[in-house]
């Protein structure tokens, strides 16, 4: 847990026709093996930051490296070591869970028995093995979230980006997902995670950064930032203290 795996330097993003920066001169480092929680109100810049780190959109200025690699020179190498679990169910509804996972696993170069074994193990762990041959469109929200998670993890990435992985799921599904994330973290995967569930983040993350208006306003271990914030007893207290009570409509 010592070396840095993600290094972000003065990263900014201003969308076309926008009159403000969604990510504003942001610098950050993530250590290898961390579960890094990226928290913030709606419109704070979390998804924009993750989208840039995943190579989905290009920064306006600044730079970052993932495991010492940059998209400019090593896009394909970065894509091999990262896993992405987007907020929406990024799955083909008319394909079965197994077919979806076979397809996305193959796109990472996995094949044969190894791929099948990984799919079966993951489905089994997340309680979906008996639904493997059912089409995704017949799944509940929680089941879709779990398949969505597996699709980003089959290749055992060094860095996993999770954009609100437990939104809209029941407590049981959430517990299974959190347990699974802890297990893959123990196997060495660094996790970058965004969520509005502050208690969940407090429980899961080793480091937390709260961002607002595109800037990091505090960063540290959950217990540290609770301690340094006046009158705070939980992460939610810290959050409200730093970002205010005003509604944030995106």
Residues that bind another protein (CB under 8 A): 15-16, 54-58, 76, 79-80, 82, 84, 86, 88-95, 99, 102-104, 106-109, 111, 135, 151-152
Q: What sign does the dihedral 186-200-90-84 (CA atoms) show? A: negative
Minimum CB distance to another protein smaller for 33 or for 55 = 55
CB-CB neighbours of 32 under 10 Å: 16
Q: How far is the CB of 69 from another protein (least distance, A)?
A: 12
Q: How far is the CB of 184 from another protein (least distance, A)?
A: 17
Residue 214 CA to residue 180 CA, distance in Å, equals 30
Minimum CB distance to another protein smaller for 18 or for 247 = 18
Which parts of 34-170 fold into alpha helices (H)?
A: 46-53, 71-81, 97-107, 112-125, 141-151
Minimum CB distance to another protein smaller for 57 or for 232 = 57
Q: How far is the CB of 50 from another protein (least distance, A)?
A: 10
DSSP state of 129: G
Minimum CB distance to another protein smaller for 57 or for 217 = 57
Contact at 8 Å (CB) between 13 and 60? yes
Q: How far is the CB of 115 from another protein (least distance, A)?
A: 10
């Amino acid at each position: 847990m010592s070396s840095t795996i993600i290094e972000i330097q003065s990263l900014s993003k201003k969308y076309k026709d926008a009159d403000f920066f969604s990510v504003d001169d942001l610098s950050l480092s993530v250590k290898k093996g961390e579960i890094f929680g990226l928290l913030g109100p709606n419109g704070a810049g979390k998804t924009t930051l993750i989208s840039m780190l995943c190579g989905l959109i290009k920064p306006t200025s600044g730079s970052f490296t993932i495991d010492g690699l940059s998209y400019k020179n090593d896009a394909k190498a970065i894509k091999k070591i990262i896993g992405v679990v987007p907020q929406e169910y990024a799955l083909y509804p008319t394909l079965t869970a197994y077919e979806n996972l076979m397809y996305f696993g193959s796109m990472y170069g996995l094949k044969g028995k190894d791929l099948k074994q990984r799919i079966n193990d993951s489905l089994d762990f997340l309680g979906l093995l008996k639904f493997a041959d059912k089409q995704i469109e017949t799944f509940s929200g929680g089941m879709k979230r779990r398949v969505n998670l597996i699709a980003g993890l089959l290749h055992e990435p060094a860095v996993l980006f999770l954009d609100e992985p437990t939104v809209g799921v029941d407590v049981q599904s959430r517990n299974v997902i959190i347990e699974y994330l802890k297990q893959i973290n123990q196997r060495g995967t660094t996790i970058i995670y965004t969520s509005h569930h502050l208690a969940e983040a407090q429980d899961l993350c080793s480091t937390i950064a709260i961002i607002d208006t595109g800037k990091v306003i505090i960063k540290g271990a959950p217990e540290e930032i609770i301690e340094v914030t006046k009158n705070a007893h939980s992460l939610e207290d810290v959050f409200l203290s730093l970002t205010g009570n005003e509604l944030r409509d995106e």
